[in-house]
């Protein structure tokens, strides 16, 4: 069983904000595997505090999950998901927005720190093993630390949004390789697929 968790805040108020880039990725991936978005829909599973889509995608039993708790409490949902579905951290991918990467850049990475991201920080508090894979989706930085909260909770400009969606599309394109276990190929293809410097 492979699990992909996208991080974001629940509710329409936040759906188009930068902080919901993890949800954007899951929606794009879901659309790719189910163009009509009806055969394998997301369904709320209150016992794991997430909307779940479960199916066999690219030959792999897979769960897509969107926590329905707020970003700062992402860890409780991820812990519930991992425990309930008995998923190894080796088969866990967390997708989230990253201030340290410019819009238009996505990076795959295994293990590492939380980078100051509130959702990731909470996941670190709840999981004993943080050696899972991450998909970091660049949103850019406002340039001033005090402006970060307002920045991540606002909608990107049209140009930035287009860049983000393009890079999310690039990430979706490498998912078949990742799910097949070809992590090195998926990573290489993703990281050479844009013009941004590696980070």
Task: From the candidates 19, 30, 117, 191, give the one annotated as an active-site residue.
Answer: 19
Helix (H, G, I), strand (E, B) or coil at 10: coil
Pairwise CA distance, residues 150 & 147, whole Å: 6
| pTM, to two decimals | 0.91
Q: Tell me, what's the pLDDT at 168?
A: 96
Q: Are 8 and 65 in contact (CB under 8 A)?
A: no
Determine contact, residues 7/22, Cβ cutoff 8 Å: yes
- Catalytic status, residue 19: yes
CATH number for region 2-191: 3.40.50.1470
pLDDT in tens, 87-111: 999 999 999 999 999 999 999 998 7
Q: Does the CA dihedral 187-79-8-47 come out positive or negative?
A: positive
If DSSP states are collapsed to H, E and C, what string results for 113-157? CCCCCHHHHHHHHHCCCCCCEEEEEECCCCCCHHHHHHHHCCCCC
């Amino acid at each position: 069983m492979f699990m992909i968790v996208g991080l974001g805040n629940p509710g329409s108020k936040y759906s188009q904000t930068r902080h919901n880039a993890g949800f954007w990725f899951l929606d794009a991936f879901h659309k790719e595997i189910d163009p009509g978005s009806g055969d394998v829909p997301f369904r709320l599973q209150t016992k794991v505090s997430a909307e779940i889509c479960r199916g066999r995608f690219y030959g792999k039993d897979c769960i897509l999950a969107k926590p329905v708790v707020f970003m700062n409490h992402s860890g409780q949902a991820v812990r519930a998901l991992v425990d309930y579905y008995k998923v190894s951290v080796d088969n866990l991918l967390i997708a989230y927005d990253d201030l340290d990467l410019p819009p238009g850049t996505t990076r795959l990475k295994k293990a590492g720190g939380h980078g100051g991201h509130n959702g990731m920080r909470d996941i670190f508090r709840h999981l004993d093993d943080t050696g899972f894979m991450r998909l970091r989706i660049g949103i850019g930085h406002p340039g001033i630390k005090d402006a970060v909260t307002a920045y991540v909770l606002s909608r990107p400009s049209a140009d930035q949004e287009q860049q983000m969606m393009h890079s999310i599309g690039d990430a979706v394109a490498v998912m078949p390789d990742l799910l097949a276990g070809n992590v090195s190929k998926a990573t290489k293809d993703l990281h050479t697929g844009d013009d941004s410097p590696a980070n």
